[in-house]
């Protein structure tokens, strides 16, 4: 087990953790008291602090050698969990996005059952991995989606900045959240366009589980968005010059 306090670098005041902070703080406190990450996550469910996500968290050693992780999760309803930031955020994602995580896991399992693990994941499994690790959902007015899809960064973040008051960027990927523990300007998410009427993370979970089909996801309908450009997420982006970095806010393809 990792030493107590290994979750200490997390700053729960960060805006991207707003929806996760209540449960996250509780789980982190249990880890600081000596629980492993799996025990801490299970304790939240057992105490009624979190709804039952349909899985339990188990130590990584429970995963048999040679068995695909996704197959084990689906068949055993158990998530192998290491004592690190990456798996801690994966556990929090299961607690907040249980419908979507379950649907993605079922698609992974079915794809493995049909074709095996293989050296190449295939379009659907590849898209699932991108979303699961580095994805986010953007609920926003249509002009923002269009500007981001076209990589018109100044239009999206400067000219249309008032529209961000009507928008919510919801991090989904646990690797994305892990990277944001040490924020840097280049961190970029694979962003899915979601209905702007979604008002809660539970609503976003239901939409992602029921409103996005496997065929649509396999087409990788993501927009790359440097997340520290989101208004309110980083003090530096109050200056329009923040978006003039072509190594981060890259021009449209072919420009």
pLDDT tens by residue, 79-114: 999 999 999 999 999 999 999 999 999 999 999 988
Per-residue pLDDT for 60 more than 70? yes
Across the chain, mean pLDDT equals 94
Asked if 75 and 43 sit in the same domain, the reply is yes
Q: pLDDT above 90 covers what percent of the chain? A: 91
Cβ atoms of 149 and 217 closer than 8 Å: no
Is residue 54 in a domain?
A: yes
Among 104, 128, 152, the domain-final residue is 128
Asked if 194 and 101 sit in the same domain, the reply is no
Q: What is the domain count for the chain?
A: 2
Asked if 123 and 24 sit in the same domain, the reply is yes
Asked if 162 and 187 sit in the same domain, the reply is yes
Is residue 255 in a domain?
A: no
Is residue 87 in a domain?
A: yes
Is residue 225 in a domain?
A: yes
Q: Could you read off the pLDDT of 28-59 as tens digits, one per residue? A: 999 999 999 999 999 999 999 999 999 999 99
Q: What is the mean pLDDT of residues 121-132?
A: 94
Per-residue pLDDT for 1 more than 60? no
Asked if 19 and 118 sit in the same domain, the reply is yes
Sorting pLDDT into bands at 50, 70 and 90, what band is 124? Answer: very high
pLDDT at 54: 97
Asked if 228 and 139 sit in the same domain, the reply is yes
Q: What is the mean pLDDT of residues 204-208?
A: 96
pLDDT at 118: 67
Asked if 232 and 194 sit in the same domain, the reply is yes
Q: pLDDT above 70 covers what percent of the chain? A: 96
Q: Which domain holds residue 64?
A: 15-128
Asked if 33 and 102 sit in the same domain, the reply is yes
Asked if 141 and 229 sit in the same domain, the reply is yes
Per-residue pLDDT for 119 more than 70? no
Sorting pLDDT into bands at 50, 70 and 90, what band is 5? Answer: very low
pLDDT at 121: 76
Asked if 124 and 154 sit in the same domain, the reply is no
Is residue 253 in a domain?
A: no
pLDDT at 204: 97
Q: What is the mean pLDDT of residues 226-243?
A: 98
Is residue 250 in a domain?
A: no
Asked if 139 and 240 sit in the same domain, the reply is yes
Q: What is the mean pLDDT of residues 162-173?
A: 97
Among 106, 128, 150, the domain-final residue is 128
Is residue 5 in a domain?
A: no
Among 85, 112, 128, the domain-final residue is 128
Asked if 69 and 42 sit in the same domain, the reply is yes
pLDDT at 83: 97
Is residue 6 in a domain?
A: no
Query: What pTM was estimated for this model as a whole?
Result: 0.95
């Amino acid at each position: 087990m990792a030493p107590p306090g290994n979750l200490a670098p997390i700053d729960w005041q960060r805006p991207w953790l707003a929806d996760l902070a209540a449960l996250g703080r509780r789980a982190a406190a249990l880890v600081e008291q000596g629980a492993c990450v799996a025990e801490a996550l299970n304790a939240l469910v057992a105490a009624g602090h979190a709804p039952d996500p349909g899985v339990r968290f188990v130590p990584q050693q429970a995963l048999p050698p040679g068995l695909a992780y996704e197959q084990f999760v689906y068949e055993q309803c158990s998530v192998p969990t290491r004592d690190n930031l990456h798996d801690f955020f994966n556990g929090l994602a299961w607690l907040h996005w249980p419908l979507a995580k379950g649907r993605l896991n079922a698609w992974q399992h079915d794809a493995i059952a049909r074709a095996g693990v293989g050296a190449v994941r295939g379009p659907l499994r590849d898209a699932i991995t991108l979303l699961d690790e580095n994805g986010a959902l953007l609920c926003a007015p249509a002009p923002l989606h269009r500007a981001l899809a076209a990589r018109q960064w100044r239009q999206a973040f400067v000219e249309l900045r008032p529209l961000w008051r009507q928008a919510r960027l919801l991090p989904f990927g646990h690797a994305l959240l892990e990277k944001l523990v040490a924020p840097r300007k280049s961190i970029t998410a694979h962003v899915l366009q979601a209905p702007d009427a979604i008002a809660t993370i539970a609503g976003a979970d239901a939409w992602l589980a029921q409103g996005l089909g496997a065929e649509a996801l396999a087409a990788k309908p993501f927009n790359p968005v440097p997340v520290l450009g989101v208004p309110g997420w980083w003090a530096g982006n109050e200056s329009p010059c923040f978006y003039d970095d072509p190594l981060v806010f890259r021009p449209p393809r072919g420009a």
